[in-house]
Chains A and B, each alone.
Chain A
Amino acid sequence: MTTTKIKLRLNQQQLELIDDTVRAGESNSREHLVRRALHEFVKANLPQREKDR
């Protein structure tokens, strides 16, 4: 499976927010949380794309 690595430029406060969210049980890793955000954002903002899937 082809994958692509995207580097998000974040500061320590932004990472703290991500880590807090992971610790709260919303995801099992920083990376997974960002990917979850992508899927849910697309679902809310590109509904046609979701329908076509």
Chain B
Amino acid sequence: MTSSDRKLLYEHIIQPGTGKALEMRRGQILRIAQTSGRQCADFNCFNLHDYKEFFHTGRTRHLHGLHPTTGDFLWSAPPRERPMMAIIEDTVGTNDVLYPRCSAFLFEYQYGLPVHTNCHDIQAEAQREYGLTPDDVHDSFNFFMHTGVGQDGHPFIAKNTAGPGDYVELLAMIDVLAVPNVCGADVMMTSDFELKPLKLSLYEGTEVDWARVTEPPKMRNQRNPLHFKVKNIKADRELYKDAAYTPDFTNVPIQIADLEVELTGEEMGLLSELVKTGKYGNTDADVLRYVFFTWWIGEFMRGPKHVPK
């Protein structure tokens, strides 16, 4: 069986200014395709059976960098931290998880346009079909959004390079509500100053599709509501103190101890040279601790290392 043997379940064109909430079962595939090209697609994603689990740009950015693409996952927010969807195809490779969704505020503040298409409101309107509120919209995965970070540390939006027919494909790792929308930003570089439709296709995935997904980590700390001390979702808006609350933080109190390490004269010489560089700390002990943990990360830590090259 090949990917081309997939069964098509649903097709829909999302027009400029709109989005669509789609129920997806584990193993189904959503293709988001360009029609005329150069169009950014913002994307939200919820666990279909528990909307409090939702896609998290931060964890995804941490694990896959600023431009996730084929082979990467869309992770849910802590403490759930599960792969919700896998990117199994990406014909452009210019996705973004750095920028937040555009919003009504942004167009009013930056452009003087108080009534304007924007991804937050489009998402809210699409999600309303499933009873969600504007507060439930979360930071988006921005497909086909070409971005970078300048030498001054500021992010920038570059010209959209997606052509007609380009697409991304997302395989649902769990049952999800997937919500793509045509980005509403027509006065930014995001979609080359023109709003264009996007084509959505929902498929039943095949074994070939699953073969493209790497085995994700399974950890004790990928928690669910069974692990929560508060079991019920708060249903009123006011915040008030729980009189019965007693703090129960992990590993508290933090206990400090000295680990004595005996170094030979030669090793002290090595340490002194490191101290002299001024790059690793001020005291022998500070430098040795820096050296140890930096070395440990390089040798043993799983996933991206997040240390300077």
* Residues of A participating in the B interface, judged by any CB pair closer than 8 Å: 1-15, 17-18, 21, 26, 30-31, 33-35, 37-42, 44-46, 49
Contacts and interface: CB of A to CB of B under 8 A. Distances in A.
A26 B258 CA distance: 21
Given A6-B288, A12-B254, 5 more contacts: A4-B262, A5-B260, A11-B256, A21-B296, A45-B274
Interface of B: 251, 254-265, 267-268, 270-271, 273-274, 284-285, 288-289, 291-296, 298-300
Which secondary structure characterizes the binding site on chain A?
helix
Given A38-B291, A46-B274, A1 B264 contact: yes
Contact of A31 (B261, B299, B300): B261
5 contacts: A3-B262, A6-B285, A8-B260, A15-B257, A41-B291
B288 A38 contact: yes
Contacts of B294: 41
Contacts of B268: 4
A42 B270 contact: yes
Contact of B270 (A33, A34, A38): A38
B288 A21 contact: no
B261 A11 contact: no
A9 B291 contact: no
A31 B288 CA distance: 12
B260 A13 contact: no
Nearest to A24: B300
Those 10 A-B pairs whose CB atoms lie nearest each other, nearest first: A37-B295, A7-B258, A37-B292, A8-B259, A41-B291, A41-B295, A42-B270, A34-B261, A12-B255, A2-B265
B300 A8 contact: no
Contacts of A35: 261, 263, 267
Given A1-B265, A4-B263, A42-B270, A10 B289 contact: yes
